Amino acid sequence: MDKPDLISSAEVRVAVIGAGSLGQQVAQHLQQTAGWAVAGFFDDFAAPATITVHGPVLGRIEAIEAAFASGTFDALLMGIGYNHLAVRQQLFERLVAHVPFASFVHPAAYVDHSAVVEPGCFVSPGCVLDLNVHLGPNTFLYPGCVVAHDTTLVGHSFLAPAVRLAGHVTVQHRCFLGIGTIVIDNLRLEEDIRTGGGATVVHHLTTPGTYIGTPAKKKPSIDN
C-alpha cells in the first residue's frame, strides 16, 4: 500500500470535519493508535471552542484552509456520515487541492501490500483488503468489512459493518452498502446505490435507489 510522506511522519495531527458521532468515532480510533493525534474538529453546527470528548471545535468549515496555513493541523479526515454522501464528496473535492487528507488504516485491519488506499480513506478494525484492492478517495469502511481481490471502490462510498465484496467488483461513487451486505463476484454497482441490511446482490445494479432482500431488488418509491 502506497503511503504519502505525510503518513510516514512520527505523528500526524488530524483535524476531523464533523464533530458529531462519526467524527468522535474517527477521533477515538486515531487517539488509540500510535503515530496519530487529534488536533480538533471543524463543524458548521457546533460553536467554536466547544470542547468535545475527543478535542475542541476549531471553527467552521470555512476556516479550514487558514487553520492549516497557520500550522494548526497536518491533515484532514472526514467525519460526516453516510446520509450526506454528496456533501462529503463536495467538501473533499473542494479542499483536497489546498489541504492534505490522511488515509487511516487501523492496525487491526489486514491490507495486502498490493492494495491501494487513497487519501481520505478510513479503514476500521477487522477489515480485510485483499490482492489488488483499490479504495478510491474518501471511502469509509466500518469494522469487519471484507473486500476481495481486484475489487475497486471508486470513491466517496460507505461500507457498513461486515459487508462482503467478492472479487472483481466495482462500486461507483456515493454508494452506501448496509450492514452485512454481500455482493457476488464480477458485478458493478453504479453511482448512488444503497442496500439494506443483509442484502445479497447477484446482478449489476444500474439505477440509483435502495435495494433490499435476497436477491436484492429495488425498493419501490412511494409517491406522495
Predicted local distance difference test score (pLDDT) of residue 7? 42
Across the chain, what does the average pLDDT equal? 94
pLDDT at 213 over 80: yes
Predicted local distance difference test score (pLDDT) of residue 222? 63
Q: Quote helix, strand, coil % in the chain, to nearest 5.
A: 15, 30, 55
29 HSE (CA, 13 A, CB side): 23
pLDDT at 91 over 90: yes
pLDDT at 5 over 90: no
Q: Which of 96, 77, 68 is nearest to 14 (CA)?
A: 77
Predicted local distance difference test score (pLDDT) of residue 51? 87
Task: Say what percent of the chain tops pLDDT 90.
Answer: 89
In the chain the domains, ranked by start, together with CATH numbers, are 5-95 (3.40.50.720), 104-210 (2.160.10.10)
Predicted local distance difference test score (pLDDT) of residue 182? 98
Q: Look at 106 and 9; give whichever has higher pLDDT.
A: 106
| Greatest Cα pair distance in the chain | 55
The pLDDT tens digits of the residues spanning 32-68 come to 999 999 999 999 998 888 888 899 999 999 999 999 9
Handedness of CA 11, 14, 19, 23 (dihedral sign): negative
Predicted local distance difference test score (pLDDT) of residue 141? 98
